[in-house]
Amino acid sequence: MDTMIDTLTMNGQTITLDYDPVDKPAHYNLNGGIECIDYIKEVLGKAGFVAYCRGNVMKYNHRAMDKNATPVEDLKKAHQYLTWANETLEEIHK
């Protein structure tokens, strides 16, 4: 994946962000706090999170060919959600 480094200045404080547009989007990890996907997993619980991920796999696969000039980014996002679902299922069934 293409990792990008950017800086964000908020309230006079500059933060260096290391992000990836698919795996770790900068806009989902602001203020140095918990990443959005981790928060969602915590709130939904493991089984709910697997269902959430599976829904996103369907969404990104469904719109990939129509949304952008190239479907690559949406298909990478679908793959990432499938990976998160599989990792969580492994946690559930260890």
Q: What band does 14 get if pLDDT is binned at 50, 70 and 90?
A: low
Picking from 29, 1, 6, 28, the residue whose alpha carbon sits closest to that of residue 17 is 6
Percentage of the chain lying above the pLDDT 90 cut: 49
pLDDT of residue 69: 73
pTM of the model: 0.69
What does the pLDDT look like over 61-93, one tens digit per residue? Answer: 999 988 767 889 899 999 999 999 999 999 999
pLDDT of residue 34: 76
Q: What band does 10 get if pLDDT is binned at 50, 70 and 90?
A: low
Handedness of CA 60, 77, 2, 23 (dihedral sign): positive
